[in-house]
Structure formats: structure tokens, C-alpha cells
Amino acid sequence: AQSVTQPDIHITVSEGASLELRCNYSYGATPYLFWYVQSPGQGLQLLLKYFSGDTLVQGIKGFEAEFKRSQSSFNLRKPSVHWSDAAEYFCAVAPGSSNTGKLIFGQGTTLQVKP
Amino acid sequence: DADVTQTPRNRITKTGKRIMLECSQTKGHDRMYWYRQDPGLGLQLIYYSFDVKDINKGEISDGYSVSRQAQAKFSLSLESAIPNQTALYFCATSDSRGYTDTQYFGPGTRLTVL
């Protein structure tokens, strides 16, 4: 069965420090991959997505993610974290090219930013 | 105006009451979804609809029902609410023509069942 794992439930970083949030998936073929962010009291906002091509994808708010097929990973990175980045981050997977319309979400990683 | 709206945004109700959560979208998408979010569990799919006449159960449909009144409207009902249905509920949409499964979410409804 397809699954998505975000190994870190909580992460705390200092403002200005770099950030990497991990995401691993279990799926036989190359899936479509997504990162969403949920700010307190808000819905989920799409940060970035990977379908094919260049394995390093750029998103909004200065985030990027790299697809590594050999590691079944799609880690989210940001070079310098801002206090406003404190939120919950979700990795999600869809079976690529099959247009099933369904996403499988990881459990989420809560990011705390220290001043 | 927001592309995906949910009403109400917050609701407190009592055990045994019937509750309806509504979702509307102006994105012109054909597919709509209802999710439930509980702390530490991510998002779990309750029901999804690929068009007005196509409604499907998700992972956790027991205790819930849905109605797709129009392409733009998708309602979730709790026939007899129970306390463990206290959660944050999200509606989402996607466009099958995009072939990318990208979903766009509403702001959520926080439901408390006492």
C-alpha cells in the first residue's frame, strides 16, 4: 500500500537558520509529490509540487524540494527561516500519471521558529 | 474572494445532533473532497466526488454522508454527531483536466461535539 512518512513530528530552528523537513514515500512507480503548509487557523496552502523533469523544484515563500528516486524521498528545504514560517507542513503523494484524484498525506511536521 | 469556502468556520454541537458542513468553490473544478484532520494523524479522506453523479467513500466514511448539489457545492453531514467526530474538517477541489491531482483547500471548519 502507498504510504507517506514524515519522520519528524516537531522541529525547532532558530530564525535565520537553514531548514530541512524530511518526507519518505512508499510507492512502486514515480508518484506526484506535494508539500503543503498549514498556518495556525488556516487551511492548507500548496508550497510546491513535483511531477517530472528537474528533480529540484522551487516553490513559494523561498522553499525548494528535491526528489531523490533512489531514496524515495522528497525533502523540503529553506536556506534561511523566518518567524512567519512557523506552521505545520504536510507532504503528500498521488499515484503519478493515473489521475486518480486522490492524495495520501503524511502525518505532518510542526515547525517552531526561535527568535 | 476565496476560491474554496467553507461554512460554518466553527461549530459547537451536542451528541446526537445532525450537522451539515458546506463547501463551495469558484475554481470550476470537477472534483471535490472532504477530509478530517486530527492531531498527529495528518488528513484522512472521508468522501470524494469526481462529478455530480459520482460519489465515493474514502478511508473513514462511517458516520458521515455527503451530497453534491452542483458542481460547485459539496456538503458533508453528520447524521448523529458523537464526541470522537470532534475535529477540523477540510474541503478540497481538483481539476481532472490537469492530470496532476493537485488539490486546493478551503479554510476548514472546526467542529466540537460535546
Closest chain A residue to the Cα of B107, Cα to Cα: A43
**Which among B2, B45, B31, B53 has a CA at the least distance from the CA of B101?**
B31
Question: Which among B1, B21, B32 has a CA at the least distance from the CA of B105?
Answer: B32
pLDDT of residue A97: 60
Residues near B98 by Cβ (< 8 Å), separated by ≥ 6?
A: none
Contact B101 A108 (CB under 8 A): no
CA distance B49 to B35: 12
Residue A99, phi then psi, degrees to nearest 5: 55, 45
* pLDDT per residue as tens digits for the range A47-106: 999 988 889 999 999 999 999 999 999 999 999 999 999 999 999 998 766 666 688 899
pLDDT band at A107 (very low <50, low <70, confident <90, very high): very high
The percent of residues above 70 in pLDDT, for chain B, comes to 97
Are A105 and B42 in contact (CB < 8 Å)?
yes
How sure is the predictor about A27, in pLDDT bands with cuts at 50, 70 and 90? confident
Residue B11 pLDDT: 96
Predicted local distance difference test score (pLDDT) of residue A6:
96
Give the gap in angstroms from C-alpha A94 to the nearest C-alpha of chain B. 7
Best probe of the B interface among A45, A99, A104, by most B CBs < 10 A, is A99
A30, pLDDT greater than 80: no
- B101 neighbourhood in chain A, CB within 8 Å: 32, 94, 99-103
What is the per-residue pLDDT for A94?
Answer: 86
Average pLDDT along chain A = 91
pLDDT (0 to 100) of residue A96:
64
Which residues in chain A are closer than 8 Å to B96, comparing Cβ atoms? 99, 101
Residues (pLDDT < 70) of chain B are 1-2, 99
User: What's the pLDDT tens digit per position in A5-17?
Assistant: 999 999 999 999 9
Find the mean pLDDT for residues A33-42: 91
Contact B49, B74 (CB under 8 A): yes
